[in-house]
């Protein structure tokens, strides 16, 4: 029964890793602390107006837009977005 036991453990490990991953990702995307003067993605300067408007901002506008696009493509949970685009 060692095989079966090991299998269960592997599945549990996978679940743990997924949850941990999701938590890490959520944390990295949460605006926290000070706004950054430079984009953490491309190192371009983030305009002061954007920093003031988005507390804890870490990405410049193009990088943020790119990330939002990717998130929609991967996550697919922004259903309202696709519905709106159909109505337009
Ligand atoms: Zn950037």
* Tens-digit pLDDT profile for residues 71-88: 887 655 555 555 555 555
Task: Output the pTM of the full model.
Answer: 0.47
pLDDT tens string 50-72: 998 888 899 999 999 999 898 88
Is residue 70 within 8 Å of residue 62, measured between CB atoms?
no
Distance from residue 22's CA to the centre of ligand 1 (Å):
23
Give the Å distance between the CA of 52 and the centre of ligand 1: 17
Q: What is the DSSP string of 10-68?
A: HHHHHHHHHHHHHHHHHHHHS--SSPPSB-TTT-PBPPHHHHHHSTT--S-HHHHHHHH
């Amino acid at each position: 029964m060692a095989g079966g036991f090991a299998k269960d453990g592997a599945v549990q490990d996978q679940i743990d890793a997924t949850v941990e991953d999701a938590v890490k990702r959520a944390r990295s995307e949460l605006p926290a602390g000070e706004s950054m003067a430079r984009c953490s993605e491309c190192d371009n300067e983030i305009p002061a107006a954007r920093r003031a408007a988005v507390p804890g901002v870490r990405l410049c506008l193009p990088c943020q837009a790119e990330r939002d696009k990717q998130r929609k493509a991967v996550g697919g949970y922004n259903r309202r977005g696709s519905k709106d685009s159909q109505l337009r």
